[in-house]
Amino acid sequence: MLEHFLDQFLRYLQAEHNASEHTINHYSRDIRQFLDFMEQQGIRDYADVNYMHVRSYLAELHVQEYARRSIARKLSALRSFYLYMLREGTISVNPFAQVQTLKLDKKLPKFLYPEEIEALLEAPDLSTPEGLRDRAVMETLYASGMRVSELVGLNTDSIDYANGVALVFGKGSKERYVPLGEYALKSLKDYLERGRPLLAANPGERALFLNTRGGRLNDRSVRRFIDQYVLKTAQLRKTSPHVLRHTFATHMLEAGADLRTVQEFLGHANISTTQIYTHVTRDHLQSVYNRAHPRA
């Protein structure tokens, strides 16, 4: 079977590269999709896959109208998989070696304007435990710039209220402290006092943010309730939980924070990843100029 080494490769990603569950799931889906296509072509051995088979697969993805970014992600997963097999001696020729990397336009991250973020944060109903939780989640995301995966991994002892920071575990299990402003700290305290006790099913549960069954909140649930608040707040554009991270970075830079500091807060390994937000702020400043200056 073509899947013979896939589980071994996924275990390698987790053990050697500290890949997150989210990353492993993406790799697994993308590689299995390719292996299913190969089996449909009658190919049941890794060694039989050649450059023309790869070209045929890419053509099929184009026919199915996959976005260039999605195709690029699938190619990246398959390249890693075949490089792993090459190093392990499972194959002698890498059919992806001749496949060029797709050039992608730099996609500028979306962010919310101050009045939009204010409307979103005011949307939850604070008379319910879920509303208290949702406000605390969104305030924390906006105040800190942490990833949603980092937020749902927080425990009750992750917050240092005296110093106004949270300890998060980022990509590659790297620890970092992120700031929490007074609004986020207040919403967290309100949630812990009036919301979390009503959601908790197990007194020993360590997770900070709980779902309605008393277990740890997950990424998908956060996305779902933020989508609901966006629908309730008519003036908002379509957004996602990650937009709160983009908004944090954009607002910090617009207010004069230096790039290195924002890089540290976001947990980016390379400053080039953070630099994309300088393009966002330049575009924003240009749009403000165009609207405000009589001779723009």
* pLDDT class of 49 with cuts at 50, 70, 90: confident
Highest mean pLDDT among 51-65, 94-108, 186-200: 186-200
Question: Of these residues, 133, 135, 251, 268, which one is catalytic?
Answer: 268
Q: Does position 104 have pLDDT exceeding 90, yes or no? A: no
- Per residue in 131-140, pLDDT (tens digit) is 999 999 999 9
Alpha helix (H) ranges present in the chain?
6-17, 21-40, 51-63, 68-88, 114-122, 129-144, 148-152, 182-190, 196-199, 219-232, 241-254, 259-266, 271-274, 276-292
- Per residue in 183-204, pLDDT (tens digit) is 999 999 999 999 999 999 888 8
Cβ atoms of 105 and 67 closer than 8 Å: no
* pLDDT class of 269 with cuts at 50, 70, 90: confident
Catalytic annotation on 66?
A: no
* pLDDT class of 113 with cuts at 50, 70, 90: confident
Catalytic annotation on 57?
A: no
Q: Which domains does the chain have, with CATH numbers?
A: 6-88 (1.10.150.130), 114-292 (1.10.443.10)
Residue 151: closest CA among 242, 27, 15: 242
Higher-confidence residue: 237 or 94?
A: 94
Question: Of these residues, 26, 53, 171, 216, which one is catalytic?
Answer: 171
Residue burial 92-121, b: 16+ Cβ < 10 Å; e: rest: eeebbeebeeeeeeeeeeebbeeebbebbb
The label of the residue with tokens 């617009």 reads 254
Catalytic annotation on 17?
A: no
Question: Of these residues, 135, 196, 245, 246, which one is catalytic?
Answer: 245
The pLDDT score that the predictor gives to residue 67 is 83
pTM assigned to the model = 0.63
Question: Of these residues, 26, 79, 242, 284, which one is catalytic?
Answer: 242
Residues 226, 233: Cα–Cα separation, whole Å: 10
Catalytic annotation on 245?
A: yes
Q: Does position 208 have pLDDT exceeding 90, yes or no? A: yes
Question: Of these residues, 147, 196, 246, 251, which one is catalytic?
Answer: 147
* pLDDT class of 172 with cuts at 50, 70, 90: low
What are the Cα distances from residue 292, in Å, to 102, 112, 115, 287? 39, 19, 18, 9
